[in-house]
Amino acid sequence: MTRLTLSHVIFLAGTTTGYTTLSDAALRQLSFPLSASSSSSTEFDPFTGSLLSPILVPRVPGTPGHAAVQAHFINYIKSNLSPDWVIEWHNSTSVTPATGDKLVPFQNLIIKREPPGITRDREHEVEWLTLAAHYDSLYRPEGFIGAVDSAVPCAILLWALKELDKAIGRKWEAWEDDGLEQAKGVQVVLFDGEEAWVQWSGEDSLYGSRALAEDWQNTKYQDGSSRLDTISLFVLLDLLGAVDPTVPSFFGKTHWAYQNMARVEQRLRDLGLLESTPKAGKFLHDTDRSNWNFGGYVEDDHVPFLRKGVDDILHIIPTPFPKVWHTMEDDAKNLDVGTVKDWAKIVTGFVGEWMDLEGHFEGVETGTEDEKGRYSEKDEL
Ligand SMILES: *[C@@H]1O[C@H](CO)[C@@H](O)[C@H](O)[C@H]1NC(C)=O
Ligand SMILES: [Zn+2]
């Protein structure tokens, strides 16, 4: 039987909103590894960083550079994440207008960690926070790097998993399967074949995401729902890492999630934990909307999912696009490292809140039950 202790009541209050604010101490802790006083602060160095620099090479599907980056991802995951993360490949092939009859391989990489106690008959209950970016680079101009497009977003997502790995583990160790908790999992999808080979069109673009959306629509669970139905929120990062990004809120349905991410950014700035000083004051500037007439959206890897009914989408892409977009200048030297690290902290904070990780960071004073209760109350207002 369920013990209804005080902490349980608070916990339930938290799950009705499904989103728990992180304390200042937790935000400080997750930012620390990227601060100057940490020995791992160089992971995002574009020239020497162990995480980012190996991705900053041409990665055209089917080429050796592409395979080397795949190997780097796997190596990073295996050396930095606990073995509870499952690595899944989703491979397809397609012709492209640039390559004639030859079939080009497109290989999406999925890294996921399932909540505990999920048996096959309960797979449909898992709500996957789905974090995505594409890792392929443009076919032409030859030698194109795609640092913001989208090497940096891939690095940010892998870093977020590494940062939150232990806290997720601690949260789930303490988990009691009383049927009351939402089964929240987290998965990262690194898409292949986002770029067009000749000219952007319905057929020449989004090769990997079109194939994956199709496959997940056809992957059915015992209750008849599909793998697409288990996506609770689809967060797509693109074109991040250049100085002064301004990212609008694209979808009314997920504007609340945008606002939550913007709140994480503002709190990190107020705590002095971010390095950048963007001209607009912040990256996520579009929080206070008087009109709910959300305009168009930018075509990207979320579109095949949107077309199949996945409409909880948060697209984190600056408009206007960075000046270097689709030019040879989109390389290591034109990244703004402060901006890169700041995005990593913002995204990680958002995921930590979504996954309700408050109280599960080691060495963070979590305060009394009363204080925790106040966080939950604040969330409900
Ligand atoms: C899919 O592609 C990856 C990366 O090239 C490869 O390691 C894996 O073996 C492939 N899987 C299948 C089933 O072909
Ligand atoms: Zn691109």
CA 55 to ligand 1 centroid distance, Å: 19
Token look-up 């305060």 returns 367
| Nearest CA residue ID for atom 7, ligand 1 | 89
Residue 113 confidence (pLDDT): 96
Q: Is 365 a catalytic residue?
A: no
Specify the amino acid at residue 333. K
Q: Long-range contact list for 378-381, CB < 8 A, 24+ apart?
A: 378/21, 379/13, 379/14, 379/17, 379/19, 379/20, 379/21, 380/13, 380/16, 380/17
Instruction: Give the closest residue to 74 by CA, choosing from 190, 206, 236.
Output: 190
Active-site position among 192, 194, 331, 342: 194
For residue 107, the ligand closest to its alpha carbon is 1
Nearest Cα residue to atom 4 of ligand 1: 107
Catalytic pick among 195, 238, 330, 358: 238
In a domain, 128, yes or no: yes
Residue 18 confidence (pLDDT): 74
- Asked if the structure places residue 246 within a domain, the reply is yes
Q: Which one of the ligands is nearest to 205 CA?
A: 2
Instruction: Give the pLDDT confidence score for residue 182 in this predicted structure.
Output: 64
pLDDT of residue 26: 97
For residue 378, being part of any structural domain is answered with no
**pLDDT tens digit sequence for 126-149:** 999 999 999 999 999 999 999 999
What integer pLDDT is reported at residue 37 of this predicted model?
86
Alpha carbon of residue 299 to chain centroid:
18
Number of independent structural domains in the chain: 1
**Does 215 participate in catalysis according to the annotation?**
no
Tell which atom from ligand 1 comes closest to the C-alpha of 107.
Answer: 2
Q: Is 136 helix (H, G, I), strand (E, B) or coil?
A: coil
Return the pLDDT at 363.
Answer: 74
- Kindly report, residue by residue over 238-284, the tens digit of the pLDDT: 999 999 999 999 999 999 999 999 999 999 999 999 999 999 999 99
Distance 212 CA to ligand 1 centre (A): 15
pLDDT of residue 177: 59
Ligand nearest to the CA of 153: 2
Closest residue by CA, ligand 1 atom 6: 89
Is residue 373 a part of any domain in this protein? no
The packing angle between helices 24-31 and 255-270, to 10°, is 80
Closest ligand relative to 61 C-alpha: 1
Q: What is the pLDDT of residue 176?
A: 67
372 occurs within a structural domain: no
Whether residue 366 lies inside any domain: the answer is no
Which pLDDT does position 43 carry in this prediction?
A: 96
Q: How far is the CA of 241 from the centre of ligand 2 (A)?
A: 13
How many A from CA of 135 to the centre of ligand 2? 10
Write down the pTM of the prediction.
0.91
The set of protein residues with a Cβ atom below 6 angstroms from ligand 1 is: 70, 89, 91, 107
Atom of ligand 1 nearest to the CA of 89: 1
Q: Measured between alpha carbons, how far is 265 from 282 in angstroms, rounded to an integer?
A: 8
What's the CATH code of the domain at 49? 3.40.630.10
Q: Which residues pair with 237 in a beta bridge?
A: 316
Residue 357 Cα distances to 82, 158, 167, angstroms: 17, 18, 6
For ligand 1, mutation pick of 89, 106, 207, 212 (most atoms within 8 Å of CB): 89
What pLDDT, on a 0 to 100 scale, did the predictor assign at position 10? 35
Let me know if residue 367 belongs to a domain.
no
Distance separating alpha carbons of residues 217 and 226, to the nearest angstrom? 6
Q: How much distance in Å is there from the Cα of 318 to the middle of ligand 2?
A: 13
Q: What residues pack around ion ligand 2 (CB closer than 5 A)?
A: 149
Q: What was the pLDDT predicted at 371? A: 42
As a whole number of angstroms, the longest Cα–Cα distance in the chain is 66
Residue among 107, 136, 190 whose CB has most ligand 1 atoms within 8 A, to mutate: 107
Domain housing 40: 4-354
Tell how far the Cα of 280 is from the centroid of ligand 2, in angstroms: 24
Using DSSP bridges, classify how beta strands 231-237 and 127-134 pair: parallel, antiparallel or unpaired.
Answer: parallel
In a domain, 365, yes or no: no
**Tens-level pLDDT at each residue, the chain (381 residues):** 233 333 333 333 333 347 899 999 999 999 999 998 888 789 999 999 999 999 999 999 999 999 999 999 999 999 999 999 999 999 999 999 999 999 999 999 999 999 988 888 889 999 999 999 999 999 999 999 999 999 999 999 999 999 999 999 999 887 765 555 568 999 999 999 999 999 999 999 999 999 999 999 999 999 999 999 999 999 999 999 999 999 999 999 999 999 999 999 999 999 999 999 999 999 999 999 877 778 788 999 999 999 999 999 999 999 999 999 999 999 999 999 999 999 999 999 999 999 999 999 987 755 444 444 333 333 332
